[in-house]
Amino acid sequence: MKYILTFSLFFFTSLFFGQNNKTEEPAMFLDSTLVASATMEYVDPNEIESVNVIKKDTTINGVIYRSQIYITSKISKKYDFISLEQIKSEFTKIKNNDVIYMVNGASIKDNIKTFKLDRNYILEVEVTNSEAFYNFRKSDTKFDIINILGKTKENLENKNKILIKGHEAIGIK
């Protein structure tokens, strides 16, 4: 009897407190491509034609999603989504250092492995080394910050600005 009680306690505890791969996020599909929900922040809402929501639990790659959201774009163009690691290897020369990713100045904290951006959205990729910061120069911690600038209205205006620096002569009477 003691063994049955112990086994049943062990079974119910592992059942209730076991790891669960269920997320509260929905599975987001943009033109039939699975993307992270954070990726949708960088898709122009004017390009969306329709949104279809299916409230049904779905398992994709071992992860259980609460629902499915299918987004169809107006233009039947195919988005060319690339991961942050692909951006790092294609747009930078970073090999071994740890990396902090940012998009338009906002750091990416969650879903770094599944976060993707449209290649056509990328305007510029800026890299800053930790040695550029005074407080980290003597530290053993070395990392790089990759800031991905997207083609937003503000970034395009700043990119097209021409700054003229001059020297003004002051005359004495």
27-81 residue pLDDT tens: 888 888 888 888 888 888 888 889 999 998 888 888 888 899 999 888 766 688 8
Q: 66 and 101 share a domain?
A: no
Q: 103 and 155 share a domain?
A: yes
Half-sphere exposure of 148 (CA within 13 A, CB side): 27
- 12 is written with which tokens? 């119910």
- The last residue of one of the domains, among 31, 48, 79, is 79
**137-151 residue pLDDT tens:** 777 778 888 999 988
Q: 148 and 89 share a domain?
A: yes
The answer to whether position 68 is within a domain reads: yes
Q: Where are the alpha helices (DSSP H) in 60-125?
A: 84-91
E-state strands within 8-142: 27-30, 33-35, 48-54, 58-60, 63-65, 68-73, 81-83, 98-103, 106-107, 116-118, 122-129
**86-120 residue pLDDT tens:** 998 888 888 777 888 999 888 888 778 778 888 88
Torsion of CA 148, 150, 153, 154, to 10 degrees: 0
Owning domain of residue 35:
22-79
- The last residue of one of the domains, among 33, 48, 79, is 79
Number of separate domains in the chain = 2
Q: Within the chain, how many helices (H) and strands (E) appear?
A: 3, 12
Q: 147 and 95 share a domain?
A: yes
- 142 is written with which tokens? 């070395």
The answer to whether position 60 is within a domain reads: yes
